Structure 1
């Protein structure tokens, strides 16, 4: 699925909130954009309306103005029956107003000289007796307009207040829906991570995965929180403004409409270059996160081997590359942002002046001053959303690239397949039938492996590094699937079970135990409600962790920080053992679990295991062969094949590979002693 469609799919999850926000926004925009129309009416009907034709009426008539013993009413307020009486006019020349008490044939250029007003239009001119009005007399003619002006002013203020409440509502709903979308997306990404195969994490550093879950989703959040709201708001504003422009002047509105294709072409050019730059920036950012994560994890080694300069040099290379592409984005944004907006703005105003011409500014022009004011006001308002859209181009492209990276992760195939759920606890009978496996095609690490492990037996796997011991357990746990052969649990293929159901029968203890932030108790139970506090305490006691609990002030509730760094390796391993045992597995897997434990702690664990492994099938990988002498079956591995099989005594009698390994280790221990 394309990035845009997936983003739209997430947006539709909260479509009710988004639609409500858009409706509120439309009301707010409509209320706000009435301002220029109100201004036009104030100018044309009330401020410049004084130059409309006046008729002489009888005294005391509504809206009549008294002047030199006579009463006059403006033509648009004349409602008396019959034809109007004497006609009069008021004309503005410069900053002064003049009263003409007779009909005027036409309007045009005006000049006043010797008490006469001369009006010229084309090659024709006429002169009329004119009387200059005083300020008091001018105010009289404006007095009927005061009520209308005040009404329009308060109407505009009321609409602004009305708009503010709807603006708040739409902003709140847009922001909330955006936050909800990102919350849902992060949940999906983190949930999806739990289902990805182990192979995926083998090939991708943890820092890069973290960058996609945090940094990339945060960039997408900007898309919904800032970019989406800006684009929606700007689009509605532009639609409203163009509607108003067409109501005012169709010809000029079409001229302004040319701005839209310019923006579209602009965005296409911008995306062409910005997409590549942003891909590089996000990729390098992931590399930086991976490098930082690796350096923090390996800080003891870096400092011990004085590797600081080399580490810093590698980091500086990534940092410099990141700066290089950020600078390219800066240049692109600087070229295609405010400067280009200003150019378009100036061209629009040039077109406006060209269209009207200087002759349009007088009263005989083709357009009223109020219309011109409204048009200029709307044109100014038009560039506010355009500027807003342009300023969001960089965030839009960054979010689009980040979304592609996140959706690429979500598109990774899950490993959890549906299977028939197991109703009862497994007995623990395991059989490998001619299993072959390769991490990389053509490079088999397991070759035709076949063996059986009966309920309650202990199977030990020994061999040199790379012989395939851990791979057998990876296949058993279905961290990886074999390319050939089959593995049976209680006579049933593990490939007919879901991984989740298969792993409910198993417990594992690794050579390097991993503890999560929380408490000792939460690390044993893994927050599983089925495991009670009593079971946690019992599991810890069974592995011999009584002394550990006694030495901790809060016992089971003692806090554990990341990886349990405040605990010794032996203490961490004891907790890891208790975790496996608390789940009461039918199959217990010990992957070199005693390799990092001192002899005294190992003795405690061995004593506990003798008890807890009763009734369980146990697989043990061990380098120290002395720890597996009591195993029911020992499988000796070499280059992916089983070369010897039997008990300790049987293998010692054969005097083969196992015998040599055991005698070699025994000799080293004696020499140390």
Structure 2
């Protein structure tokens, strides 16, 4: 037999139909998502701009001390330059784009030697491996690599004059850099807020839809699905979809924008160095594919085992009283421990895969950086590549690997979302077993006549629980069903409320087939008091009112007093505002039962159903309930299911069921006179009293 706690496996890593369906939930928020994507473009641009600004600062200003300068007479330079000693000096790089011939123009170069600065007449392109100064006078000759140049030693103030523009531009670049950081922060904050708002709204709508759909399902659905599994669907699985909408759907664009932007900038700065940097990409792709395959297998197991933990937890916590009664704590702990260990061992596999993948990517990234330093560093020393370009390449390469790693992680989230969405849609795609027909009758009032005509019913469509059952209950009658366990008493109650649909026959209320009545209006007019009363977390008054706002506190107090529930409510510290714990654990069985009677009365049903409502009640409380029952059933049709025959002796009619069939119908005395099944049940239940009564006769 299939374990009810086991989860189904996901067959596909990506399903386009599922994705299309998921995207349909995002459609109402397309404007917000579009704004988020646009903001992502600006966020990406601010991220890409920062290394480039530092590159400009290094190459154009910090390292520009050694760049040759054209020397012009004052006011003859095509651009504004640095005025010094009756001349104007313009850096060579500033004139590269001007159509002019500079072959006959003198060049000068600033150099630093032993913490002193010199203005050398000439283009110094060689490395300063061999340098000497012939004298320290103002007119100085400098020998560099066996080449002699005339030079002028500069004071600190004069040197600052040459660097004044650099300092000014560096200050501007610093302000631009800070501005970009601030603007990037604003864009990023706005984008994150908008994206998460849209994502949360989407998940909110999905959760609402799933919960609403679950509420519509018949009891058969809940018979086949453990509560833990449904909780996993509404809570855990929808949260996985939230990760997909916020971290995959939109953030995917940022990773793509970042990769494209980095590639364009690197190719533009230096083609050879860029192509060399990209040689590590195939290794990244191979590592990512291996990771994706392995993590998908592990993730499937994790989802299965997590759902099993939720189901088992719910089952054991709900049945904790039974566990304590039979001292099965150790046994249940061992069962949970085995499930928990299995989940733990599976998560360890996930950790191992991540622990191997991330360092692998880090190694590949380090190799790429080492390759740039090896090749680019040599080219920088030779002057073929500027130092700022080398710095920018290393920075961009480090950034280049981050989107790749995140894209791999996003695939894992996508895989998770696919699994969750498939399971969510499996619930949403389950059609309601109990449906309202088109133009179903919405009845506001019942007279209370109930007819079963040749009714056949089975929970599994195989084993008949009711067989050709026929009876009539007239308006205002008090009817009781009796019979051995499994005779079909509770099934009749479930069918009257249309919690299940019959396979054959008809069930009529006031001559109308209940399948043609709106099921919600049907259930509103039928009040049920069950043997196991379910109370919700809240307070006394809300458990009677059940959030029906048009029921006033006076109505609640009247109903409670009418069924004798006010006897214990008024003794509570906060009375009708007294907190109720989960399932009413702080109240006795009798108190919960009295609250159930008050709940039924305040809704003023036309038909009242009591399903073993007095089976767990002590004698003192039973007296109160019997008094309440007489008040409840007055003026309305009432149906009672009871094992204790003493509680139904005064019923207008008793229907005896045996193995799903109606065997006897009559009053208490009529059935005793028949000496049939009811006679045997009564004799067995009250043997001593029965013998005394017979002896008197």
TM-score tier by shorter-chain length is 0.7 to 0.9
SS of residue paired to 1:334: helix
> CA distance change for structure 1 residues 550 and 43 in 2, over 3 Å: closer, same or farther?
closer
Per the TM alignment, residue 542 of structure 1 is displaced from its structure 2 partner at its CA by 2.5
Specify the alignment match of 1:74 in structure 2. 91
Bigger drift between 352-361 and 2-11 goes to 352-361
Provide the rounded CA distance (Å) in 1 between the counterparts of 2:275 and 2:147. Answer: 42
- Say if 1:86 and 1:102, in contact at 8 Å, map to a contact too: no
> CA distance change for structure 1 residues 671 and 303 in 2, over 3 Å: closer, same or farther?
farther
> CA distance change for structure 1 residues 160 and 615 in 2, over 3 Å: closer, same or farther?
same
Provide the rounded CA distance (Å) in 1 between the counterparts of 2:131 and 2:574. Answer: 104
Specify the alignment match of 2:399 in structure 1. 381
Please list, as runs of the form range in 1=range in 2, the aligned pairs for 1:401-480 lying within 5 A after superposition: 401-415=419-433, 417-419=435-437, 420-480=440-500
Q: Deviations over 1:456-512 (max 9, x none)?
A: 122221111111111111112121111222212222221123321221221101011
Bigger drift between 567-576 and 16-25 goes to 16-25
Specify the alignment match of 2:662 in structure 1. 642
> CA distance change for structure 1 residues 275 and 25 in 2, over 3 Å: closer, same or farther?
same
- Say if 1:93 and 1:110, in contact at 8 Å, map to a contact too: no
Q: Deviations over 1:516-535 (max 9, x none)?
A: 12222211221112322232
Q: Deviations over 1:425-470 (max 9, x none)?
A: 1212221122211112321111111222221122221111111111
Bigger drift between 321-330 and 515-524 goes to 515-524
SS of residue paired to 1:193: helix
Specify the alignment match of 2:598 in structure 1. 578
Specify the alignment match of 1:285 in structure 2. 306
Is the aligned partner of 1:22 residue 2:43? no
> CA distance change for structure 1 residues 465 and 238 in 2, over 3 Å: closer, same or farther?
same
Provide the rounded CA distance (Å) in 2 between the counterparts of 1:357 and 1:76. Answer: 22
> CA distance change for structure 1 residues 575 and 55 in 2, over 3 Å: closer, same or farther?
closer
Is the aligned partner of 1:532 residue 2:547? no
Residue ranges of structure 1 left out of the alignment (5+ in a row): 120-126
CA RMSD of aligned residues (A): 3.5
Structure 1 residue aligned with 2:148, among 110, 129, 133? 129
Please list, as runs of the form range in 1=range in 2, the aligned pairs for 1:59-98 lying within 5 A after superposition: 59=74, 62-66=80-84, 71-75=88-92, 86-90=105-109
Specify the alignment match of 1:371 in structure 2. 389
- Say if 1:56 and 1:84, in contact at 8 Å, map to a contact too: no
Per the TM alignment, residue 596 of structure 1 is displaced from its structure 2 partner at its CA by 1.0
- Say if 1:275 and 1:401, in contact at 8 Å, map to a contact too: no
Please list, as runs of the form range in 1=range in 2, the aligned pairs for 1:238-249 lying within 5 A after superposition: 238-249=259-270
Per the TM alignment, residue 392 of structure 1 is displaced from its structure 2 partner at its CA by 5.7
Provide the rounded CA distance (Å) in 1 between the counterparts of 2:505 and 2:239. Answer: 45
Structure 1 residue aligned with 2:232, among 188, 211, 223? 211
Provide the rounded CA distance (Å) in 1 between the counterparts of 2:20 and 2:623. Answer: 60
- Say if 2:36 and 2:191, in contact at 8 Å, map to a contact too: yes
Provide the rounded CA distance (Å) in 2 between the counterparts of 1:571 and 1:451. Answer: 34
Provide the rounded CA distance (Å) in 2 between the counterparts of 1:262 and 1:82. Answer: 49
Specify the alignment match of 1:340 in structure 2. 360
Provide the rounded CA distance (Å) in 2 between the counterparts of 1:570 and 1:423. Answer: 34
- Say if 2:477 and 2:652, in contact at 8 Å, map to a contact too: yes
Q: Deviations over 1:593-634 (max 9, x none)?
A: 111112333233233323332332222111112222232332
Specify the alignment match of 1:31 in structure 2. 46
Provide the rounded CA distance (Å) in 2 between the counterparts of 1:150 and 1:388. Answer: 35
> CA distance change for structure 1 residues 257 and 180 in 2, over 3 Å: closer, same or farther?
farther
- Say if 1:206 and 1:293, in contact at 8 Å, map to a contact too: yes
Specify the alignment match of 2:181 in structure 1. 160
> CA distance change for structure 1 residues 321 and 76 in 2, over 3 Å: closer, same or farther?
closer
- Say if 2:444 and 2:521, in contact at 8 Å, map to a contact too: no
Bigger drift between 175-184 and 611-620 goes to 175-184
Structure 1 residue aligned with 2:673, among 649, 653, 672? 653
TM-score (normalised: structure 1): 0.87
Please list, as runs of the form range in 1=range in 2, the aligned pairs for 1:464-613 lying within 5 A after superposition: 464-613=484-633
Residue ranges of structure 2 left out of the alignment (5+ in a row): 1-14, 133-140
> CA distance change for structure 1 residues 581 and 155 in 2, over 3 Å: closer, same or farther?
same
SS of residue paired to 2:586: coil
User: How many residues were matched structurally?
Assistant: 660
